[in-house]
Structure 1
Amino acid sequence: MKPIKLVMSAFGPFRGVVEVPFSELGSSGLFLINGDTGAGKTTIFDAISFALYGNASGENRTTDSFRSDYADEDEQTYVELTFLHRKKEYIVWRNPNYRRSKKRGSGTTEEKPNAILTMPDGSVIAGYAPVTEAVTDLLGIDWRQYKQISMIAQGEFLELLTADSNARGLIFRKVFGTQIYDSIQKKLKELSNKLKYQCEDIDKRILQFLDGISCSEGNVSKAAIDEWKKVKDINQAEKMMELLSVLLEEDRAKYHTKKKENEHLNIEMAKKAAEYTKAEQVNRLLANLKQAEEDYQKLTLTAEEMKREEERYALTEKALHIVKPAEDAYLRIKKEAANLAADIGKGKEEKVRLEEQLKLLLEEYRQKEAAQPRVSELTAQISRQRAELIKYDGVAEQEKQKAILEEKKQKLEKQIACLTGRKADLTKEQTEKQAEQDQYVNLDKDMVLCENQLYQTENTIKQLNKLLTDIRNLNTESDVLFRVQQDYQNAEAEYRYQNQEYLEMEARFFREQAGIMASNLEAGKPCPVCGSTEHPSKAAITGGAPSEEELKHAKTKLDKAHKAMAAAGAKSENQRTKVGMLADALQENAAVLLEVDVSVPTSDV
């Protein structure tokens, strides 16, 4: 990256617009920026670093301090850098966060940080963070690496010198674009380790298999195999493989011999098995013959007894055909006689019951015959009473209807009288209302006006309540802003203290280092710093200087204090933005509310 032109407006100690034309200072790329303390030398480096990355060139300066103290309230603060990178021109414009005069009205407002990057093809990237990210991708290094290798700020050169090899390697790889070779080296190392592990695994398996080789005691290779098993050297695996091939050939020849012997034995076994099967069949036939002879002897002994049983069976069957029909007929007649006797007994009992029932019915009939005249008389009397009752019911119903009608008549008369009085009252009320209506002709119009005014008043009250709530919120957030600003001031004071401590320790450390180097200078030999062979005024060892470890510890404390200050500053800035937005919104709402017409109509009501 080569700077071509730098434009600063109300930046640092510079008031107004200041332009630094680097292209007019020569093409050699080496020039000196000279000036008194506070003249703005470091500001030029801060401007370049801020334009590219949004940060100062050193860690002891913050972006909220970039606006010039000599700038007018309406003057704009920004930095514009034109630079070449790989023979292509880029323009980056960036402004910090600062307060300026309002364009409308009085007071000040906050100008938000912003950035614009113009590419060689004319395309534009806008936004504070997007521009920083684009510049980092373009240059290949971030802000911390940039200020270590391209723009080393005062007091920070030691960081690059004392950085460990990993940090320096990362920086140099990004600068010279050798990350791909580092990636290839890592990939090759991973592949090498993987193949190494695979080879070790294969060696273990080979040793395991070779350890399982066995042979007979009389084999000529027995001694060599036993000797190898004692050491288990993988480098002698080929020799063992040759011995294993010999053993396999010997085992293969023995296998063929044993295979032929086995085939011969299988044929003999098949023959013996056939003979054994035939012998078993003969033995079974002999056993069956012996059993048949024993059964024949038993049957011969029982033949006469069976003959006598057959004769007795023939006689029994003959008797069965003659006696059985007669026995069945006798049993059937006996069963029918028993059933008939039972039916006769039941008939006699039924006859007795019917005779008694007949006597009761005859007695009842005689009694009814004697009471027949009285029944006829009572029947006629009942008919007469029913006819009289029907007439009486009709008269009673008419009396009830009459009473109901009389009651309705009385109610109607009362209603007529009440309605007549109500009519008079309504007539009188109508007259009075008409008089009132004539009196208040404009009442509807005034009511509409009052309702509109009431609605406006209620709306105004709601807006005032909302305004009061916004004021309370603004007061609460303002209190929070006051606290976070106090925290920022404390963090800034701590940072300034740690920075002063570190700078003093660093100065004592370098003076001590210069004294140590000067003590080793010899007359006539060049100085490793300036190259001079004459040393008229050597630096002395001061004593009491901090060690490198103490200096690093102080640097750690300084970084911690800077981070705390940056975090407190960001928190304070966010809270200040929030309070500003609440105040602007409150002011706009108040302005709108003050424009509302809250006058009361003076019409007579």
Structure 2
Amino acid sequence: MRPLKLVMTGFESYRDKTEINFEDLGKNGLYLIAGDTGAGKTTIFDAITFALYGSPSGTDRSVDMLRSHFADENTPTVVELEFEANGNKYKVIRNPDYERKVRRGNGTTKEPASAVLTYLSEKKDPVSGLSKVNEAVQTILNLKKDQFCRIAMIAQGSFQKLLLSDKNEKGKIFRELFHTEKYERLQSVLGDEKKETKMQLDELSMKFKDALSRIEISETDELYKDVNRIKTSGYVDGEDIRILKEFVSKDEKTLTTLLDDISKVEKEIETINKNLQIGENRKKLEEQISYSQKLFVSKEGEKSEIYKIFEAANKRAEEIPSLTKDKNLLESSLSLYEEIFNAERDLSELSTKLSENLNSKNSFVQAKIEKENEIKDLKEKFESLKNAGENIISLDAALEKNQTEKKELEEIEDRLDKLASEDSLLNLALAAFAEANAEFSRANASYTEKIQLFNLEQAGILAETLKEGMPCPVCGSIDHPHLAAKSHNAPTQKEVEDAKNLLDSISAKANKLSLDAGNKKGLVQSLVGNINDLLSKYFEGVTARDSDLAEKMNSKKKDNENACLEIKDSLCKEMEAKKLRESLEVEIPKAENEMNKISEYISKLDIAISSEKAKLEADKKNLLEKKSGLKFSDYNSAKKELERLEKVISRLNSDVEDADNAKVEYENFMAKIKGEIEGLEKELKKIPEVDVEKLTSEKNKQLNIKDSLNSQRDSMNERKGVNQESVQKIEVLLPKISSVNDRYNMISALYEVSTGTNRGQGRPSLETYVQMHCLDQINRRANLRFKTMTDNKYELRRRIEDDGSELGLDLNVKDFYTGRERNVHTLSGGEQFQASLSLALGLADEIQANSGGIKLDAMFIDEGFGTLDGDTLNKAMKALEDLSQGNKLVGIISHVDELETRIPSKIYIKKDESGISHARMVKD
């Protein structure tokens, strides 16, 4: 891979569009990227890495930090890179997220990150989209970003750290370089798996011991010795399982025997219970017979009372026919009582209505009197208001005149205010004119003096221009023996003209001010005339310039306001009187109409009262005739007597019925009791006699036997359940324990191998072993250059411990002059630089070799050349020149002055005063 052209805009410290054409540097050799610290040299490699992979080369900056702080809203942040790989050319354009100005209107918007890859030498469609472009670039280069950064850029100080760090620090560096963290993760996973398997094994063993300890056994048991041995040993084999199962089986047989014994006892108890039930049934029958006999004797004593009541009720029933006859007669006459009741009610209602009409008449007569008085008062008030409203027109006219006067007085005041303002303006105009006139007088005197002096000195001025042999413009003589002398105070013609221009300007100004003052004076005089005309309507001999005019105006205004209030009050009273008179014109006819209606109603009441009185007398007479010959005084009395007769008849009938029912019920009950006693006595003869006390004693004996058997059954059942469960658990746990134990042994062995502890100390872990192999490969490639740079004096070697073990990643250097190895820390500063550079180049070679044969035709080296002496620098440059042979172009990032003289091709990076970076390519 070779970069061809890089274009940066708004990227980090490069605000302006900056183009670097790497093709101008050729296809191989060295070139220098020079500039002060912080000028932006390494940013070039950041831009290349960002264009290819979407992020900068280092880990200390994120993508959102790439936009230049110097870029304004109209400047984009974009990187374009043309590069060559495997004989084909490509172009990638990429930008991060950034804020830009909206295309229409004000404000900003976010420009989303984007990327486009174009195939310049192949007929393929461009690839767009961040992830798709990243994937395509990785496919083209066959390198991931971290691999590219390791082999394309040798960062400052990074490989000296690798050279001098201890083995633990080297382990961390190699883990990052060769991604050996997967081997460390494998060690961690195996360690976790070992712990987890050990926990599983401990848990299963605990469950096994618990199940074994829970087995219950008695010293009287046949297999006590064998089972107790198994429990004590804590170990179980196949024979032990058979013994435990046999032990559980014997418990099952014992339990079956106990269940049979319990069943026999329960049957014996059931037989006793049946005999006891026979005795209980006989006892109940005897008790029922005794109760029924006592009840029969008790009820026989009630017979005489029941028959006595029966006879008395039938005797009283003989009165029912006579009472029924009286009831029927009263029912037949009840309608007449009802007629009398209705007549009395109607008579009462008529009397009430007559009374109400008489009261209504009296009320209406009183209302008529009051209405007549009301009409009289209304007519008198109407007569007093017959002239109301006649003064409204004159009062309106007076009010309008008053308002006109008020407006004119206010207008006079407004004009007086305007007169005062115009007086001030006139005084200012007159003062300005006076000053301009004085200035004109001074300018005029100056001009007059200058023109007089100028005219007087014209001969002297003319003489100044004459020369011998030149004719005089006045007399024509060419001889000028006596030239007129010019005064030193004489003005020039320009001075005269300037004085004339100034005089004209001041004159124009004075004339304008004079005209302005005249206009203002005319306006003031016109205002005074208008004000005097208005004042003449309300004041005699008063003018606008009178000193007491304000006092007179205030007095006049106050008189106007008082007059206005008086007019309005009179007008209001006049309108109210008119409104009252108009309302009386409506109310008087209305009141008279109401009085006529009252008179008509009184007449109608008189007719109704006369009719009601006549009807009342006739109804009273008719009622007296109906009442004659009746037994009761009114309807209610007759009704109450009828209800009393009905109740007496009903009660007598009910008493007869109740007495008859009681007699029949008694006879039936006595017959029933007698029959029950006879039936119970027959049933009692069928039941045999039993000895209940003896049966009860035997039952208690059998129950005790049953309780004892049940207790034995429960204990045996519980023991059998616990033992059976424990044996089943042991059978299940044994194969699991064996399987987990096998797995634990296997994982423990793997873990010890991965950590190097399988045969005690002194062996590397799996990750360290892989890193040791990688370091050996890098050393092999690095020594090709290191030996050249040191004239075959040194070679890097991985350290071998005194006991011959190769445990770590520490480095030694083989000194071929002494034939001995020593620690790399003993190298001088320049030698350490050579070793670090060799390691870096060896790493780059190793990564390229393991990345599918990818060839990187460009490289950046950012190492500390400033610390090297001349000889060491020459050897380092020789190694780099050898590296750049063929098709490899190597860029050295440095600010060492000597390199500028040695390397002809240079890219100078410089920051201006604002901090903005600029790049310039120079080829000597």
Q: TM-score, normalised by structure 2?
A: 0.27
- 1 or 2 for the larger relative contact order (CA 8 Å, sep ≥6)? 2
Q: TM-score if structure 1 supplies the norm length? A: 0.38
